């Protein structure tokens, strides 16, 4: 392609605006960023503000947010070009992210899902987990959302205690800029009644429930994970979609969408190609096994299409680009797929590049239209 054609292509992409469903802000100083938003009692409880001492790093001597300590991305799991000029962690400065992401790629709204908090489900103390979620939400509403109206918040809730989670949704669900609930996954499938208070509250406030990898699948606890424990990062990362498949099947088969007809579930960063597979597999099984789950009044795939949304990144790159178009058609992407960049993770997608090969109408649906409907933007 000649240079002028490339430039022309780029200009055309830039005329499209994007809603980015998956952006990860990071703390500058780890958990200490939350200090002003935790009570004295909780600060004492987790040892925040205590003097540094030789106990650091020793067993049972320091509280850290549970996170993926099992797998090492050999380059580093964050984009090196997103590091701040002062060496601060990628996406830890809302003004810099505005420049690096929002302005540069015509992002009209970015849904923020805190990157340090993914492992919240691994905190053994349910009250502490809930307190951390609350502190994080207040911190985000205080430090990120006022910086730019394009920043939107997915409220963290702690999955350990669904009643406390529902309370948190009730506390902030109507706050301007709050567009979703973020639910870290644990070792209970999403269709389980454990989560119904969360779904009830989310539905009451018209908020979709979002899930994302790195819940506790990267921790050595009985977590949402594939069968067995992968040895390598590459293996863990590629297999994450199996966790989403299990949860999608659970949500449908337990009748969650019959119980909560207004509920929407967003699967972030879990891939796309498994969706038609699971739709067909469930539909086929349902024809034979309908009497086991008689509360399903429609084909399982219809619940998936109506209630589930899937974010694009990491966009799949098949042998032939047209294969992806076929997959998108199979999963009715014009109403089920929403764009996400996953900024600033290493596998982030460039908005202009990721959707470049899609026909215009579908591109608009994926880039922003469906997400606007979903998040009420």
Partner 1 sequence: MRRPATQPYFVAKVSELGPGMRRVVEAGQRSILVLNVDGAFYAIRNRCPHQGCSLECGTVSGTMLPSDPQQLIYGRHNQILRCPWHGWELDLRTGRSLFDPEGVRVATYPVRIEGDSVVVEA
280 binds partner 1 (CB under 8 A): no
Residues near partner 1 (CB under 8 A), total = 17
With vertex at residue 327, the alpha carbon angle to CA 324 and CA 332, rounded to the nearest 5 degrees, is 125
Q: Which long-range contacts (C-beta less than 8 Å, at least 24 apart) are formed by 278-285?
A: 278/245, 278/248, 278/249, 278/304, 279/304, 279/305, 279/330, 279/331, 282/249, 282/252, 282/253
364 binds partner 1 (CB under 8 A): no
234 binds partner 1 (CB under 8 A): no
Place of tokens 């067909």: 280
Q: Please report how close the Cβ of residue 318 comes to partner 1 at its closest, in angstroms.
A: 31
Q: Please report how close the Cβ of residue 198 comes to partner 1 at its closest, in angstroms.
A: 16
Question: Which residue in 142, 163, 231, 295 binds partner 1 (CB under 8 A)?
Answer: 295
Question: Which residue in 256, 282, 338, 354 binds partner 1 (CB under 8 A)?
Answer: 256
Q: Please report how close the Cβ of residue 343 comes to partner 1 at its closest, in angstroms.
A: 38
Q: Which is nearer to partner 1, 93 or 254 (CB)?
A: 254
286 binds partner 1 (CB under 8 A): yes
Looking at the DSSP bridge assignments, the partners of residue 111 are: 152
> Considering all CA atoms of the chain, what is the largest pairwise distance in Å, rounded to the nearest integer?
64
Q: Is the peptide bond before 105 cis (omega within 30 degrees of 0)?
A: no
Place of tokens 């709204």: 109
According to DSSP, residue 57 is labeled T
118 binds partner 1 (CB under 8 A): no
Question: Which residue in 98, 204, 205, 259 binds partner 1 (CB under 8 A)?
Answer: 259
Contact stretch for partner 1 (CB under 8 A) within 55-63, 202-210, 229-237, 293-301? 293-301
Instruction: From residue 344, give the alpha-carbon distance in Å to each of 30, 76, 186, 349, 360.
Output: 17, 11, 24, 9, 27
- What residues line the site for partner 1 (CB under 8 A)? 193, 254-256, 258-259, 286-292, 294-295, 297, 299
């Amino acid at each position: 392609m000649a240079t002028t054609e490339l430039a022309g292509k780029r200009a055309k992409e830039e005329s499209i605006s994007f809603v980015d469903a998956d952006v990860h802000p990071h703390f500058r100083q780890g958990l200490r960023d939350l200090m002003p938003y935790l009570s004295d009692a909780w600060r004492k409880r987790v040892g925040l503000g205590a003097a540094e001492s030789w106990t650091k790093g020793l067993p049972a001597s320091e509280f850290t947010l549970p996170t993926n300590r099992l797998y090492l991305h050999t380059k580093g799991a964050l984009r090196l070009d997103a590091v701040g000029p002062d060496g601060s962690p990628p996406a830890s400065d809302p003004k810099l992210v505005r420049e690096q992401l929002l302005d540069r790629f015509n992002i009209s709204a970015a849904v923020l899902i805190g990157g340090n908090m993914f492992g919240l489900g691994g905190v053994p103390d349910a009250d502490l987990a809930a307190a951390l979620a609350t502190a994080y939400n207040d911190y985000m509403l205080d430090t990120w959302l006022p910086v730019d109206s394009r920043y939107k918040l997915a409220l963290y809730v702690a999955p350990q205690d669904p009643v406390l989670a529902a309370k948190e949704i009730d506390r902030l669900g109507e706050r301007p800029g709050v567009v979703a609930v973020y639910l870290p996954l644990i070792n209970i499938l999403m269709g389980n009644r454990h989560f119904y208070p969360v779904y009830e509250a989310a539905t009451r406030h018209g908020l979709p429930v979002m899930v994302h990898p790195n819940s506790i699948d990267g921790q050595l606890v009985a977590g949402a994970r594939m069968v067995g424990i992968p040895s390598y990062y590459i293996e863990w990362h590629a297999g994450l979609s199996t966790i989403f498949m299990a949860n999608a099947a659970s949500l449908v088969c337990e009748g969650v969408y019959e119980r909560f007809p207004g509920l929407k579930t967003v699967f972030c960063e879990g891939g796309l190609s498994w969706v038609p597979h699971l739709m067909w597999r469930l539909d086929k099984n349902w024809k034979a096994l309908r009497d086991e789950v008689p509360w399903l009044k429609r084909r399982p795939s219809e619940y998936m299409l109506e209630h589930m949304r899937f974010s694009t990144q990491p966009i799949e790159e098949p042998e032939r680009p047209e294969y992806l178009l076929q997959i998108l058609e199979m999963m009715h992407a014009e109403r089920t797929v929403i764009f996400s960049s996953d900024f600033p993770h290493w596998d982030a997608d460039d908005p202009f590049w990721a959707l470049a090969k899609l026909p215009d109408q579908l591109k608009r649906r994926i880039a922003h239209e469906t997400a606007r409907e979903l998040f009420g933007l």
